[in-house]
Structure 1
Amino acid sequence: MAQLFTHLQRIPLLPCKVQEARKFMRLFSISAQKACQVRVRFAPSPTGHLHLGGLRTALYNFLFAKSKNGKFILRIEDTDQTRLVVHAAQRLEDMLKWAKIYPDESPTVGGPRGPYVQSQRINLYHNYMKNLLENDSAYKCFCSKLRLDWLRNDAIRRNETPKYDNKCRYLSQVKIEELERKGTPYCIRFKLETITDPYQDLIYGPILINVAEHEGDPVMMKADGYPTYHFANVVDDHLMGITHVLRGVEWQISTPKHLLLYKAFGWNPPLFGHLPLIVNRDGSKLSKRQDDLHIEHYRDQGYSPEAVLNFVTDIGGGFEGKEHNVLLTIEELSEKFNLARLTKNSCRLDFDKLKLYNQMDLQRCLKSPTELPVLLDQLQDLVKKTFEEKLSSSAVQEKVLNPEYLTSVLMWNEDRITCLSDLVRPEYTYLWAIPDHLPLDQLPAMPNSYADILQSILEAITAISDNFTKENIVTSIKVVSKQYGLKTPAIMKLIRIAVTGMKEGPPVGEMLSVLGQDTAAARIKHALHLLE
């Protein structure tokens, strides 16, 4: 239908029929668009972890597809065999699923346009490369690595941008056959043309880059028989019916080259949109070597998919009526997505917002009957893994891994923590384990022994018969402080050290109420034992 539409545009019209024709073309264009289902893809290379920038690209493609009732395809581009990392492709798909970005077609899911791994499509690329050679859009290049290195070094010496000089583009057929008979290795290059018209970037508007001025003819098929990214990318996008390509702005300079390839094949290209650069808070470029930018890092640190997704969308825009500091589900993000609202400016990362979003998600889960059990399971596993040795006692495990206790800990700390992993930091050890020693040297001198005062505290909190609330606990402690002529802050410090082994911490009344009467009493008894 798209080809018919293009053909109709070229039919000459009488002046009196122009207005009627334009009306018909508008209606036909709308019908053509409706008939064409949106299909987008995320096409990473399996060379390592899924990076924050890669997640942003995948997410925006996914949201665009879902907002248009289209399809999201995952394709693995592994034609550069020298950079492959074992199991990286599976990890990429696993991390997308963790982020709730589910492909409609992928190496795992399958689909009608597969295979979805480029190394399994090699024969297909060879067939299409023959087409370019036959229509004189490509040629065999016999230049050695030594010559190419010399060209590069010579350009650098003259402070010029290195590029191929297109020497083999002008070889005679006789010379080509002679070199082939000798078995001279060759790659296949694409003939670049001069570009005078801009293409329409869905985000940045008209873009004019005459790639032939800046580059030599690019390699399309390497000497080892593997296609380069540019060639395989175009062939796959066409065969998989990709209608829109959303990718990082760093690929903007390559788009004219890809459009020339579409022209050489006689294919209609997809629409292209380029996502703005993501930079650090100080404006510096991100690096794939920054471990804290890998999605697995966020998952392992206890951040939720919703928090990470809202963080990514918050820095790039693209939403109608999305308020900052409001957590949306991926379904809500899809409903509000609007490509026209994407920002063109570089996106600066503010990790304080990620923490805020995760805190909001923790608070949401605490109020959800379906999400709370999942949260408790995650915290339980985290505590067992972190304090495995200190939880050797079955009685201790029964207490600290009890869902009721875990819930009370979460409720108490919902405004203090930003992710579950915060609760296993050293300053929260007292929630899960008995202190090994008491830093009594941090305490001021007291008129009575610490043991005597703690014994009185133990009797006071054990005697609380009503609710073991922070108010009742503080009232009982104040009675003891008057009994010994101590200021309340001093005796609170003694109790905190006895119970937690730390001189600083949360208010004692709140802390003891969360630990519970039995645990609080057991901690003070343990402190008395250490003081013997």
Structure 2
Amino acid sequence: MRLLRAVCTAVPRGTRTCSGGTHNEVRLRFAPSPTGFLHLGGLRTALYNYLFAKKHGGSFILRLEDTDRSRLVPGAAEGIEDMLEWAGIPPDESPRRGGPFGPYEQSKRLNLYHEATQTLLESGAAYHCFCTPQRLELLKKEALRNRETPRYDNRCRHLSSAQIQEKLSKNVPFVVRFQLVEGAHSFKDLLFGCIHHDVASIEGDPVILKGDGFPTYHLANVVDDHKMAVSHVLRGEEWLVSTSKHLLLFRALGWQPPSYAHLPLLLNKDGSKLSKRQGDIFIQHYAKSGYLPETLLDIISNCGSGFLGNQMGRTLPELIEQYDLERVGTHSALIDLNYLPEYNRIHLSKRIDNLDSRAELVTKLQTLLQDKYKDMTFNKDYIEKTLILRKGHLCMLTDLLSPDYSYLWVRPSIHLKDLHSLSSEAAEIGSLVVGILQKSQNDTNVETLNKDLKVHLQQLKATKYSVSMKILRRILSGLEAGPSVAEMMVALGPQESIARIHNALSS
């Protein structure tokens, strides 16, 4: 379909009147179909709607467009709202929360679509179509054979009233189609500017009410946006070509349309489309993997536009403050998920810095540790100290459950004979370090401890300083590599470090 830029005037915004009353409020909706679970692209659309609503003191609505009954996925409707709440952008009105314009599931609003359909039929803007699926398939094949775009030929538009009544009296199956009006129709998109799309010259009349009594997207979203007093529609760029059709429906029903902005697509870093077949694009995947909600909000907003430059580490209040729809460009946003761990490292550090969120992390980590090490108990003060010391090194909270950090929770089994292969002075090295730790007690810090270790261990004649570090690392952690010895000792504390050295030297 071809879209042309045109010179046009924006639809004036003012007081909107709907069945619920008169409203000046900014109201935006996120309206996914529960034919799948929430993924990164959907989260980005939801976020931009949420930010616009909160920036202007308005309401953010979740509406589930579940009229395609054949494609519904069990649990998807609940899952979408769960993930919005998890992400920290909960709707003000939704199927779960309710609201003044409910119900918020289209399958429970059929009477509204039937009323609108009847209005369109009575005005002549819509008509009954009795064409069989077989005929429609033949039209499609003929068009493809002629290398044309398949379209309905509007045959039933020309049936007389008598012909229609005869077919209805015989219960001939039908759908209802909307009659597209020919001629130039321009509208102003808040991002793409003025658009001209003569939809009637390109498409056949679209179905607005299916044979099963359920509406198509075209009718349902128009009716609901009006009935729910939606002031602005921010949706994906793929719906840009349908907007002229929707504006014709608004006009035929005598309703004022909302303002439209079509967001550029979120694509993989190579420019390919995000696919639901990619298991790692679903929000549940990231939540279960331990990523923080603010991490996802940060990366999906940072890879696009609408904010003040590219700044890793923005929180939701900062996103609301910086958000400006006029800054959103029309180029697709490329997301590189390889940077996701780095984003999470930044936001995990922010949480560790905050006393309240740090306490939540401590409780969560304590639970994870107790699940992993069934017969052990873990002190919260020690866990908190560990988080503070490892801040900036951790990408995920669950990193602390990895083998590289097991030394923090479990004493390694190291014997003196295992250390003799590195140096015959292993026992002397251990004794020297015990003396250092006993003198320093709880005043130990990484910088001071590093200096003390170098002063004493570099005096050994038979063992290089680097070898001494290998021996101490083995004693403290059982690892060949990892954090510095001083960092390990500070993390473990003087008493536990001394206990591990004594265990190794006496075994």
Residue among 409, 431, 434 paired with 1:432: 409
> Could you say if the C-alpha distance between residues 149 and 472 of structure 1 is closer, same or farther in structure 2, counting changes exceeding 3 Å?
same
**Distance across 2 between alignment mates of 1:384 and 1:428:** 15
Distance 1:142 1:524 in 2: 87
Tell me the secondary structure at the aligned position of residue 318 of structure 1: coil
Q: Matches of 1:122 and 1:147 in 2, distance apart? A: 28
Instruction: Indicate conservation of the 8 Å contact 1:141/1:189, yes or no.
Output: yes
One of 113, 130, 137 as aligned partner of 1:142: 130
Residue 232 of structure 1: how far off its partner (Å) = 0.8
Equivalent position amino acid for 1:201 in 2: D
The C-alpha deviation readout for 1:209-265, integer Å capped at 9, x for no partner, is: 222233222111111111111111110111111111110101101111101111111
For 1:314 and 1:93, locate their aligned partners in 2 and report how far apart those are by CA, in whole Å: 23
Partner of 1:9: none
1:226-241 correspondence to structure 2 within 5 Å: 226-241=214-229
CA distance, structure 1, for counterparts of residue 501 and residue 287 of structure 2 = 37
Aligned to 1:53: 41
Aligned to 1:339: 325
With 48-57 and 142-151 compared, the bigger mean Cα shift is at 142-151
Q: Quick check: 1:174 aligned with 2:166?
A: no
Contact 1:456 1:480 in 2 (8 A): no
Match of residue 486 from structure 1: 463
Aligned residues between the structures:
485
Q: Is the 8 A contact 1:195 1:209 kept in 2?
A: no
Match of 1:257 among 213, 231, 245: 245
- List runs of 5+ in structure 2 lacking aligned partners: 1-11, 17-21
Structure 2 residue matching 1:376: 3-state secondary structure: helix
The residue identity in structure 2 corresponding to 1:393 is: D
Residues 499, 527 of structure 1: 8 Å contact kept: no
Higher relative contact order (CA 8 A, sep 6+): 2
Deviation track 1:255-314 (CA, whole Å, cap 9, x = no partner) reads 111011111111111111101111111111111222222222332333333332222222
The runs of 5 or more residues in structure 1 that have no matched partner are: 1-28
Give 3-state SS (helix, strand or coil) of 1:115's partner. coil
Opposite residue 175 of structure 2, the aligned amino acid is C
From the superposition, tell whether residues 518 and 69 of structure 1 become closer, same or farther in structure 2 (CA, over 3 Å): same
TM-score (norm 1): 0.83
1:211 aligns with 2:224: no
User: What percentage of residue pairs aligned between the two structures are identical?
Assistant: 44
2 CA distance for matches of 1:510 and 1:187?
A: 72
Of 337, 350, 354 in structure 2, the residue corresponding to residue 351 of structure 1 is: 337
Q: How far, CA to CA, are the matches of 1:384 and 1:484 in structure 2?
A: 45
Deviates more, 1:247-256 or 1:63-72: 63-72
How far 1:478 moved relative to its partner? 7.0
Deviation at 1:444, TM superposition (A): 9.8
Q: Is the 8 A contact 2:457 2:465 kept in 1?
A: no
Instruction: Give 2:298's aligned residue.
Output: 310
- What is the alpha-carbon distance in structure 2 between the residues aligned to residue 133 and residue 285 of structure 1? 39
Question: What are the superposed Cα offsets for residues 392-412 of structure 1, whole Å, 9 maximum, x if unpaired?
Answer: 333xx23xxx22222232222
Return the match for 1:330 from 316, 329, 354: 316
Q: Cα RMSD over matched residues?
A: 2.9
Corresponding position: 1:156 with 2:144:
yes
Residue 63 (str. 1) matches residue 51 (str. 2): yes
Alpha-carbon distance in 1 for matches of 2:71, 2:380: 46
Query: Are the structure 2 counterparts of residues 56 and 456 from structure 1 closer, same or farther at C-alpha, using a change threshold of 3 Å?
Result: same
The more displaced of 411-420 and 494-503 is 494-503
Say which SS state the counterpart of residue 140 (structure 1) adopts.
strand
Match of 1:40, SS state, is strand
- The answer to whether 1:459 aligns with 2:431 is yes
Change (3 A) 1:346 1:327: same
- Partner residue in 2 for 1:122: 110
Query: Does the CA contact (< 8 Å) of 1:366 and 1:372 recur in 2?
Result: yes
1:527, distance to aligned residue in structure 2 (A): 5.4
Q: How far off its partner does 1:346 sit?
A: 0.9
**Is the partner of 2:167 in helix, strand or coil?**
helix
Aligned to 1:503: 480
1:375 has 2:361 as partner = yes
Is 1:419 aligned to residue 401 of structure 2? no
Q: Contact between 1:461 and 1:517, CA under 8 Å: does it hold in 2?
A: no
Q: What letter is aligned with 1:270?
A: P
Distance 1:523 1:162, change over 3 A: farther
TM-score w.r.t. length of structure 2: 0.87
SS in structure 1 at match of 2:64? coil
Classify the secondary structure of the residue corresponding to 1:200. Answer: strand
